[in-house]
Every structure is written in structure tokens, then in C-alpha cells.
């Protein structure tokens, strides 16, 4: 970890992973950290699994190998489990617990697992796991769509990265359209507080 930070953000197409990573990257830029990231666009976004790799500091590779992520941010719980092998054994995980049920489950072609015991197990495997209902908090902020920014607030609140709260706020102001700024600032704060109170 002395060499840099690798953050893997995962979720489902449409949840706003790209905005999440842009704001995080911008926050790193505000703090003067080198930053690189990579995203997958196109067909993968049509309700499929979406991931974004973000590296800060002394890392150049914009892509994270198995066992290398220092931080896992999951906007959806099953996607947290799917990406677990990408994490270091000591990684921090920040997970929204609200399921997004895949179409194949709705069509009766697959089953969605029973979450509570799995999330309990996740806590024992990765002791630094924060679970929060991102959707509830986003709705409290004014829109369920602000889930991505709730998780960004939670990431800031976990203080696992060397980025100040002010850097995140400045990044939000730079990236988010003015009309949605207040909503997003509220969402950020709710995520931030949720993690602080869990600590």
C-alpha cells in the first residue's frame, strides 16, 4: 500500500459508476495525487456488470489484478461478492446492500442468493467491511439515483484514502451539474455520516 492505492468500483449499468470514478479521480487531482483509471463503455453498460479501476499515487497501471485491490466499493451486493477475488486480504469493502435483481432472475432462469448470511460472512472474511443501504440514504437525500454519491461519501468517511473531505466536495462541485449539486452534496454527507457512525 505504500506504493499507491488501488480502488475497484463495481456495480450494474445505470448505477452511475462512471460518475463515481470521475469524482474520485478529480478529488485525487485536487489533492495533487497522480491518478489513472479505466472504465468499460458500450454494450457492457446495458444492465450488465460495470466496473471502474482507479489507482492513486505510485501506480501507473489503470487496471487491477486479482488480489490487488486495496478498496472495493460495490454499488450492489452480489457484485461485491463477484469481485471479492480482486481484493487484497486486508482490503476495505464499502457495500450498498440493496439488490438490483438481474433480468435473468426475473425471467426465472437464475436465482438471487439469500443475502444476510453472505454479507455476514463477508464481514468475517474482510473485517473492514462497511455495509449500508445506499438506496435508502440516496432517497433520503432526494433521489435513489444519488446512490453512487452516497457510496462516494461512505468512501470518504472510511478515511481509507489519503484524500480529505474537502477534496471530495471540491471534486463534486467540479464534476456535477449545478442543478444536481445540492442533492449530491446531501447524498455525500449521508454516506459520510453512515460510515462514521458505524466506526
Partner 1 sequence: MHPLLAPKEGERRLLLGNEAIVRGALEAGVRVGAAYPGTPSSEIGNHLFALSQELSGLYFEFSVNEKVAMEVAAAAAASGLRSLTCMKHVGLNVAADPFLTLAYVGVKAGMVVVTADDPSCHSSQNEQDNRYYARLSGVPMLEPATPEEARAMTLYAFELSERLELPVILRTTTRVSHARGVVTCGKLADYTLFEKGRFEKDLKRWIPVPAVARERHRVLLEKAHEAEELAARSEWNRMVKRGPVGVVVSGVSVNYVLDAVKELGLEDELSLLLLGFTHPFPKSLAAEFLSGLERCLVVEELEPYLEEALKVVVAEKGLSVKILGKAEGYLPRYHEFHPGLVKEALARAFELDYRPPEFPDTSWIPELPPRPPTLCPGCPHRETYRVVKEVLRELGEEEKTIYPTDIGCYTLGLLPPLKMADYLLCMGSSVGSACGFSVATDQRIVAFIGDSTFFHAGIPPLINALYQGHRFTLVVLDNETTAMTGHQPVPSQELRPEPLKEKPVISITKFCEGLGIPTVEINPYKKKEAAEAIRPILSSGKLGVIVAKAPCVLYRAKFKG
- Chain residues that interact with partner 1, rule: CB under 8 A: 3, 12-13, 21-22, 25-26, 29, 34-49, 58-68, 78-79, 81-82, 84-89, 91, 102-105, 107, 109-113, 118, 121, 125-126
Mark 70-102 as b/e (b = at least 16 C-beta within 10 Å): bbbbbbbbbbbbebbebbbeebbbbbbbbbbeb
Q: How far is the CB of 110 from partner 1 (least distance, A)?
A: 4
Q: How far is the CB of 196 from partner 1 (least distance, A)?
A: 25
Q: Are 74 and 94 in contact (CB under 8 A)?
A: yes
Cell of 173: 462541485
Q: How far is the CB of 187 from partner 1 (least distance, A)?
A: 20
* Residue (124 or 197) nearer to partner 1, CB: 124
Q: How far is the CB of 190 from partner 1 (least distance, A)?
A: 25
* Residue (137 or 149) nearer to partner 1, CB: 149
Helix (H) or strand (E) holding 107: none
Helix (H) or strand (E) holding 73: strand 69-74
Q: How far is the CB of 28 from partner 1 (least distance, A)?
A: 8
User: Cα–Cα distances in Å, from 189 out to 25, 116, 154, 176?
Assistant: 19, 26, 8, 15
* Residue (37 or 150) nearer to partner 1, CB: 37
Q: Are 197 and 158 in contact (CB under 8 A)?
A: no
Cβ atoms within 10 A of the Cβ of 142, count? 14
Q: How far is the CB of 7 from partner 1 (least distance, A)?
A: 13
* Residue (12 or 185) nearer to partner 1, CB: 12
* Residue (51 or 189) nearer to partner 1, CB: 51
* Residue (29 or 183) nearer to partner 1, CB: 29
Nearest to 75 by CA among 124, 118, 30, 16: 16
Helix (H) or strand (E) holding 83: none
Amino acid at each position: 500500500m505504500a506504493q499507491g492505492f488501488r480502488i475497484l468500483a463495481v456495480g450494474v449499468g445505470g448505477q452511475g459508476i462512471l460518475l463515481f470514478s470521475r469524482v474520485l479521480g478529480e478529488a485525487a487531482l485536487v489533492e495533487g495525487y497522480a491518478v489513472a483509471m479505466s472504465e468499460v463503455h458500450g454494450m457492457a453498460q446495458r444492465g450488465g456488470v460495470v466496473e471502474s479501476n482507479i489507482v492513486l499515487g505510485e501506480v501507473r497501471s489503470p487496471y487491477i489484478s486479482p488480489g490487488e485491490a486495496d478498496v472495493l466499493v460495490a454499488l450492489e451486493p452480489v457484485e461485491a461478492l463477484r469481485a471479492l477475488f480482486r481484493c487484497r486480504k486486508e482490503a476495505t469493502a464499502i457495500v450498498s446492500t440493496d439488490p438490483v435483481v438481474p433480468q435473468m432472475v426475473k425471467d426465472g432462469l437464475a436465482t438471487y442468493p439469500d443475502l444476510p448470511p453472505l454479507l455476514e460472512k463477508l464481514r468475517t472474511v474482510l473485517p473492514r467491511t462497511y455495509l449500508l443501504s445506499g438506496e435508502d440514504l440516496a432517497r433520503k437525500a432526494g433521489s435513489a439515483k444519488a446512490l453512487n454519491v452516497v457510496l462516494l461519501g461512505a468512501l470518504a468517511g472510511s478515511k481509507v484514502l489519503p484524500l480529505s473531505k474537502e477534496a471530495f466536495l471540491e471534486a463534486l462541485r467540479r464534476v456535477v451539474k449545478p442543478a444536481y449539486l445540492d442533492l449530491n452534496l446531501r447524498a455525500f454527507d449521508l454516506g459520510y455520516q453512515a460510515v462514521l457512525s458505524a466506526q
